[in-house]
Amino acid sequence: MPKQKTFQKTVVIDVVGLSSFLVGEFTPFLKEYLQKKHTLTIKPMLPALTTSSQSTYLTGKWPNEHGVVGNGWYDHEDAEIKFWKQSNHLVEAEKIWERAKKIDPNFTCSKMFWWYNMYSSADYSVTPRPQYHADGVKAPDCYSNPPELRDELQTKLGSFPLFNFWGPNANIKSTKWIADASIYVDKKYDPTLTLIYLPHLDYCLQKYGPNLPKIKKELLEIDSVLKDLIEYYERKNTKIILLSEYGITPVSQPIHINRILRKEGLINVRKERWYELLDPGASAAFAVSDHQIAHVYCKDSKIKNRVTNLLQNIDGIALVLDKNSQKKYHINHKRSGDIVLVADPKFWFTYYYWLDDKLAPDYARLVDIHRKPGYDPCEMFMDPKKPGIRLRAGLKLLRKKLGFRYLMDVIPLDANLVKGSHGAIHEQREFYPIFSSQTQYPEKEISAIKVYDLIWDQMTSKI
């Protein structure tokens, strides 16, 4: 009699921004598929952001334990704000596949574009990693383990479509590439656990909010990719988990938190050429804005009390959490701000610190996720105030192809363009993230930390 496996082949498909609100007329496959499965809602965690949610799902720990308090934070030692770092060493807790390997050394994991994917202990991984050339050119590329997998995938599927993964041209091409790459890796290596990240809905939902008629095209596109992916894994008798990290809710009012702090004389800037650069190490207080969350870092306790009193009177801020009150939300950590702000519904935080757009830094008008001292959803737009902006962008791309240097300065500075956001914890239940599997659980709603247990349950269940 053959020995029964310790772990069952499982795939976790992360559809960014998916909520029950989006499932319907424009997602015919997904609607029918979920009707046959058991779907739970996930109570949003603080912060309901990509890197924090993924780290909680994969470790079964809250941010105050795994340390990922947001997509970015202030590094006190370097006196620098760091966003979208990629080393898996930043996650300070054991991952689910590491636990599984202790039980069964033959257990393998494929991590396809989930975050913190570099230098991970996962057996197979692929993640975005542009080439930064000496002349300033940013070229599409990706990083993989094993290293040769990168060349195999790009030979078969073409270069990773980096400029379709984020920015004004973000579209279904990047999500389709990730799905096809995931199938390629599965066919070649047959991993026990596969983690797949599909970002497509993130773009349209932040641009337009959960406006179904406006995002009809994108919903139909993700539905088609999911159909191909799920049908592939069904043929391989794989346990399929479909989930999301957060839902995206309508917003209409940006809060320029750093401008508020600057007007109080708390922020220092450094002048270079015609523009101003935020100087966090020299500032008495500043905010690292991240969708509907902002970490405020203060030089000392006197400043902290002053800033707290100031921010408690700002319209659009729901919570002002010091280190002690952060404990209730499991976000108190050495990386978290001295004060953590959570926006009210309809509001979100910008990173803008300049008081005159003429003094905005050069990176403000670029897609530049690492240099900006906060998250910038305006990177998904081309500036509508500039006539012929698409023609200008096309000419810049032509210069690139001809080998000339170029500056793709097409991003607007108008935060009012953004219509969807996430990160807070008080949205309506129809916008909660979801968890779907073939197993029926007694709960209808689970905490984010419980997702880890349900993934483990699927991997170990014999049914």
Q: What is the pLDDT of residue 1?
A: 42
Q: What is the pLDDT of residue 396?
A: 53
Q: What is the pLDDT of residue 394?
A: 57
Q: What is the pLDDT of residue 325?
A: 98
Q: What is the pLDDT of residue 404?
A: 52
| 130 vs 258, residue with greater confidence | 258
Q: What is the pLDDT of residue 395?
A: 52
Q: What is the pLDDT of residue 462?
A: 74
Asked if the model's pLDDT at residue 257 lies above 90, the reply is: yes
Are 92 and 103 within 8 A, CB to CB? Answer: no
**If pLDDT is split at 50, 70 and 90, which confidence band does 190 have?**
very high
Q: What is the pLDDT of residue 2?
A: 47
Q: What is the pLDDT of residue 126?
A: 98
Domains belonging to the chain, first-starting first, are 10-59+94-249+427-460 (3.40.720.10), 253-418 (3.30.1360.110)
Asked if the model's pLDDT at residue 12 lies above 70, the reply is: yes
Average pLDDT over the chain, rounded to whole? 94
Q: Is the pTM of this model over 0.85?
A: yes
**If pLDDT is split at 50, 70 and 90, which confidence band does 386 have?**
confident
Mean pLDDT over residues 242-258, rounded? 97
pLDDT tens-digit readout, 34-56:
999 999 999 999 999 999 999 99
Q: Write the DSSP string, 112-157.
A: ES-SS-BT-SSSEEEEE--EE-TTS-EE--EEEESHHHHHHHHHHH
Q: What is the pLDDT of residue 387?
A: 65
Q: What is the pLDDT of residue 409?
A: 77
How large a percentage of the chain has pLDDT more than 70? 94
Mean pLDDT over residues 182-194, rounded? 98
| 260 vs 393, residue with greater confidence | 260
Q: What is the pLDDT of residue 413?
A: 97
| Chain centroid offset of residue 142 CA | 17
Task: Report the alpha-carbon distance of residue 147 to residue 149 in Å, rounded.
Answer: 5
**Residue whose C-alpha is closest to residue 341's, from 292, 403, 382, 276:** 292
Mean pLDDT over residues 408-422, rounded? 93
pLDDT tens-digit readout, 85-135:
999 999 999 999 999 999 999 999 999 999 999 999 999 999 999 888 877
Secondary structure class of 335 (helix, strand, coil): coil
Residue 276: what are its φ and ψ, rounded to 5°? -115, 140
Q: What is the pLDDT of residue 248?
A: 97
**If pLDDT is split at 50, 70 and 90, which confidence band does 139 have?**
confident
Residue 271: what are its φ and ψ, rounded to 5°? -90, 125
Instruction: Give the position of tokens 């830094």.
Output: 361
**If pLDDT is split at 50, 70 and 90, which confidence band does 388 have?**
low
Residue 366 is which amino acid?
A: L
Q: What is the pLDDT of residue 398?
A: 54
Provide the residue count of the chain. 463
